[in-house]
Amino acid sequence: MIIRSLTQVLSPAGDGGKLSILIFHRVHSHPDPLFPDEPDIRRFDAVIGWLSRWFNVLPLDVAVMHLRSATLPARAAAISFDDGYADNVDNALPVLLRHHVPATFFVATSFLDGGRMWNDSVIEALRYTEQRLFDGRAWGLGVLPLETLEHRRCAVQSLLACSKYLEPAQRQAMVDQVQDWAGVALPNDLMMRSEQLLDLRNAHMQIGAHTVSHPILERATDAQARWEILSSKDDLQARLDQPVTLFAYPNGKPDTDYSARHVAMVREAGFVAAVSTATGVSAIGSDPHQLPRFTPWDRGRARFGARLLINLRHTACDVTQR
């Protein structure tokens, strides 16, 4: 009750309204030993239960409309998922429906129906390989042991960190090498199938664009970036037979992963709002095409709530028009 009362004070209705947007990626069937901080169904169920008691969870487009007209309800929040993982439909959707909570799913279209994101290729290769050492000297990582789960977790983190900002072709070459070295078949059912996209639409969830191939826009040419933004919108609209008006920047850090010219491209493409991964909350004056998002990682209810309250102290007016 105290968290709800404090949220009411920090996130009032109307002029002083604040919009907290939460971001999720995967919701596993069971805890993932490689990523113990990622939620599984049980933990996600608890989190959505807390959120639905503390906040007025709105569809993101409705929340943005209220933000623009200074008519947000008290304790306004929206929930979002990035990338288009199949477990969002298999595991998260039933929980959301049970709690009557809406959400927006940002989908990178080229991975639908059997695709795999580059980071998942690295993760799954290191998870399943029978190799006991990874020679990462070519990437300045030294020789990494893979005997224990902790070793594998560290190796995944090191490889992802050193390759995230490589040029796309160079990064793909690295992923291909890791995949060949691992010598195991990698899963091709991590991402949504076309019909699951329709399941989300039919369940009255929102679907937003997240580019075609999830490039870091700042690393793409302007022509590529514009094509990625527009094509993902067109593809989703054709599949869903409805307008797609929301966008999420891949990776999403302002000035690192995207910049002002990409914000202009997104606005010109006709998106009514876009979300970043800057922390904080939106208020009147926040740029609707750079709304911040945040998710507490804490397991316990009190700490999870406390971190949401702290996040409410940081409004996004400082990124306005960036």
- Residue whose CB is less far from Zn ion, 83 or 87: 83
Out of 61, 82, 124, 257, point to the residue binding Zn ion (CB under 5 A).
Answer: 82
Report how far apart, in Å, the C-alpha atoms of 248 and of each of 34, 114, 238, 278 are: 26, 22, 19, 12
Does residue 133 sit in helix, strand or coil? Answer: strand
Q: Is residue 228 involved in binding Zn ion (CB under 5 A)?
A: no
DSSP 8-state secondary structure symbol assigned to residue 140:
T
Minimum distance, C-beta of residue 204 to Zn ion, in the bound complex (Å)? 23
Q: Which is nearer to Zn ion, 217 or 309 (CB)?
A: 217
> How many Å apart are CA 234 and CA 223, to the nearest integer?
16
Q: Given the complex with Zn ion, which of 205 and 248 has the nearer CB atom? A: 248
Are 304 and 237 in contact by the 8 Å Cβ rule? The answer is no
Shortest distance, CB of residue 231 to Zn ion, whole angstroms? 16
Q: Residues 173, 231, 217, 209: is their CA dihedral positive or negative?
A: negative
Of 250 and 305, the one with the shorter C-beta distance to Zn ion is: 250
The Cα–Cα gap between 134 and 152 comes to 10
- 61 near Zn ion, judged by CB under 5 A: no
Closest distance between Zn ion and the C-beta of residue 104, in Å? 13
Least CB distance from residue 169 to Zn ion, whole Å?
Answer: 20
Q: Judged by CB under 5 A, does residue 83 bind Zn ion? A: yes
Closer to Zn ion by Cβ: residue 17 or 250: 250
Give the chain's length: 322
- Give the binding range for Zn ion (CB under 5 A) out of 191-199, 231-239, 247-255, 300-308: 247-255
Min dist CB 240 to Zn ion, Å, is 19
137: amino acid identity, one letter: R
- Which region, judged by CB under 5 A, interacts with Zn ion, from 27-35, 139-147, 173-181, 248-256? 248-256
| Minimum distance, C-beta of residue 250 to Zn ion, in the bound complex (Å) | 5
Q: How far is CA 75 from CA 3, 7, 286, in A?
A: 11, 6, 17
Q: In the complex, what is the shortest distance from the CB of residue 77 to Zn ion, in angstroms, rounded to a whole number?
A: 20
What is the contact mask toward Zn ion in residues 109 to 138, using x (rule: CB under 5 A)?
A: ------------------------------
Rounded Cα gap, residues 170 and 174, in angstroms: 6
Q: What region does 124 belong to: left with phi over 0, alpha with psi -120 to 50, or beta?
A: alpha
Whether the CB-CB separation of 52 and 100 falls below 8 Å is answered with yes
Count, residues near Zn ion per rule CB under 5 A: 3
CB of 255 to Zn ion, least distance (A): 17
**Alpha helical stretches, state H, the chain:** 2-10, 41-54, 60-68, 86-87, 93-98, 118-128, 149-163, 168-182, 194-202, 222-240, 260-268, 301-311
Which segment (147-155, 182-190, 242-250, 310-318) binds Zn ion by CB under 5 A? 242-250
Instruction: Write out the residues near Zn ion by the rule CB under 5 A.
Output: 82-83, 250
